[in-house]
Chains A and B, each alone.
Chain A
């Protein structure tokens, strides 16, 4: 066979966002050799874009907060189809993981008494998000990066993993290519951790970067692992809608946490119109009470703008559909109004939301301290992903672990804002720890040269054709279709149509043509990404068709209500023997009594 350069490590981590970096730090701390692979430069992963904060029940701003409240908030937000064990571990361990970041040099905003400051966010009962202005993700990734580079981790930047390599049932490495010269490489490992992030690029309007093509989801699926909860996609209620070129770029929930309100074209605060029953006693019924809440009054209840994201996104859709939207098809998000309440409002806004201020000023020519923003829903986060063991983060395939956005379970049907960054560090650490243990207990596997040759050959096909489809066009058509047919509001027939559409796109993807050579060729990369996007899109559509109810991020026009029957299981997708996608139900195990008590206690 061709001699591809081969790199050997005990543990290979694929992905250098918050989850991958945290996993790599943990594994190398455990004394095994670690290789960290990422598609972009180090420090540029999606995590860098996170704005609002990371949730951890430290109770600095309200001492009534503790892990039990965080746990029950997460379960309620996820509509009780979460993996309760993950939700428990997350709520219990997040505070320590955040403090650990501080000991590694992170500089969070402070409370008056000098502790880490915590802010309000949707669905969190108390102020819970440790943050740095509206650039918390940058602080997280930079802290981990700067800590990690002194740990002896070998970092492979601008290298894209194409497939996982197996020896029998077990994952033993991966085939990748380095982008500069387009050359293939083999990474041998005793354990592999996937930390590849999200799938937003399957949709037209998204807050995700080009990296969010669901690679880890597809790599795991192709290697025989199960994907669960794929029907649950989070559409963030507030993305930019104007100008067209920035459509989808995120406007942090922190704007609402700081007192921003939503209005329709009639100037009405429409979020007061529809407050779900299970949030009624936690939600304020007057504007005055809502304002008191965001300014820290412990006896006030939160304003309806801070209800969970799925709900706020649907309310916005409703207003737009009813003709009460803004000129460019969104609604108004107003933070400027707080000048009625506080002195120096413009300065306060710039201090609390500096990057939002700049983003609108530079990209939309709009001053958020004087003028309301136009916002609308954007595809933001995937709750679904690789099914893992809650404690070890091992997937259903031996030797393969997953953490962060590409793993599933903690969020159930809807993720609370701020729960992702904390998820990354809690479960990134666990994945690193357990992958290291696995690596110590197992040797290297034997490479299957034929499989490697086949994968490499397939990857090069787009260059060998004499003309064919433009990969960018296929990607674009896929995004349009998913947006239209498997978007925020879903319906049986449209989704079935999407499945047929995906079949057609699959055959087109098999005929892509890329001009130029293999050196740093984004067209080639786009062609290779198509397979991943097609796998996740199919998984989303298949699970969404089966879930004949509405829950969290999954809303069915034809089944608008919640059905308790569907609260009993998660949908799992797996590659069948014949190569097709198989869907099955996995019963949700019963919650132990001590957690049931917590849920009851918290109301």
Chain B
């Protein structure tokens, strides 16, 4: 059987090194299989996250040869094996150990986004009516598996460390799903502008490119949200209305 070498980040929060492991490759294997094989054969304490092994849970995000990907959906026959394959944790967040990053920040950010607030039920049976066309858009956003790969590539977080001011593409998608939900009555535009830092996004579309769920993050979620913010805050008429509303 053919063997391949994997160069994997080993270490904790402070220090780490890249360690090479060799393992046998069989047909159809994905990167996560290789990591598991290495765990079972030579590095039982190698830490990595995974659950579904089918691209559904968003646990196994990593940087494979520097590319942010799901380990369970990256087939070995799609990457060159004549040189070591590097596997590292996603970099926009601090490493915990080996392939595991501390993504807890994301869970805190989500809490700051105002929750779903439906209008009162208006169908006779005490529920609502929504047509499929009305929910298509929101369903696209709700496909998100919270892999945080988009957060990982966004330069605002990755290079500029604006974690305090900017919620990142994942949570702009989340906010969009709430804002465009046919039943929702909450207004989040003010927060998006001030607290969530939507202005930091300069539409590079790097996030859209890595999304394993193929959510068109920038075009379908962020740009429409930006438009809402502009309409609400920079449209002279609306501004006037708001001025009066405040009083």
Contact = CB atoms under 8 A, between A and B. Distances in A.
Contact of A522 (B46, B52, B178): B46
Interface stretch (B128-136, B159-167, B233-241): B128-136
A113 B125 CA distance: 13
A107 B139 contact: yes
A48 interface: yes
Contacts of A155: 107
A526 B116 contact: no
B55 to A, nearest CB: 7
B66 to A, nearest CB: 20
A209 B51 contact: yes
Interface residues of A, number: 68
Contacts of B179: none
Nearest to A472: B40
A516 B27 CA distance: 31
A324 interface: no
Interface stretch (B15-23, B141-149, B150-158, B198-206): B141-149
For the side of the interface on B, what is the size category? Answer: 35 or more
B228 interface: no
A135 B56 contact: yes
Contacts of B40: 470, 472-473, 476
B10 to A, nearest CB: 10
Given A115-B127, A132-B139, A363-B73, A150 B115 contact: yes
Interface in A179-225: 180, 209-211
Given A146-B110, A243-B28, A40 B143 contact: no
Given A44-B57, A114-B129, A362-B73, A211 B143 contact: no
A516 to B, nearest CB: 3
A473 B42 CA distance: 12
Contacts of B126: 99
Contacts of A515: 44-45
Interface string A352-392: 00010011001111000000000000000000000000000
Most buried by A among B52, B100, B129, B138: B52
B142 A245 contact: no
Contact of B45 (A49, A115, A524): A524
B56 A362 contact: no
A516 B44 contact: yes
Interface string A125-166: 000000011010111001000110110000101000000000
Interface of A: 40-46, 48-49, 99, 102-105, 107, 109-110, 113-115, 117, 132-133, 135, 137-139, 142, 146-147, 149-150, 155, 157, 180, 209-211, 242-246, 249-250, 355, 358-359, 362-365, 470-473, 476, 514-517, 519-524, 526
22 contacts: A40-B51, A41-B107, A42-B107, A44-B49, A48-B51, A135-B56, A135-B143, A138-B143, A209-B52, A211-B51, A242-B28, A243-B27, A243-B29, A244-B28, A249-B53, A355-B54, A355-B55, A358-B55, A472-B39, A514-B45, A520-B100, A522-B44
Given A45-B51, A105-B116, 13 more contacts: A44-B51, A49-B52, A99-B127, A107-B139, A139-B142, A147-B115, A157-B107, A209-B53, A210-B50, A245-B30, A364-B28, A519-B47, A520-B100
Interface of B: 12, 26-30, 33, 39-40, 44-59, 73, 75, 96-98, 100, 103-104, 107, 110-111, 115-116, 118, 121, 126-132, 135, 138-139, 142-143, 145-146, 178, 181, 184
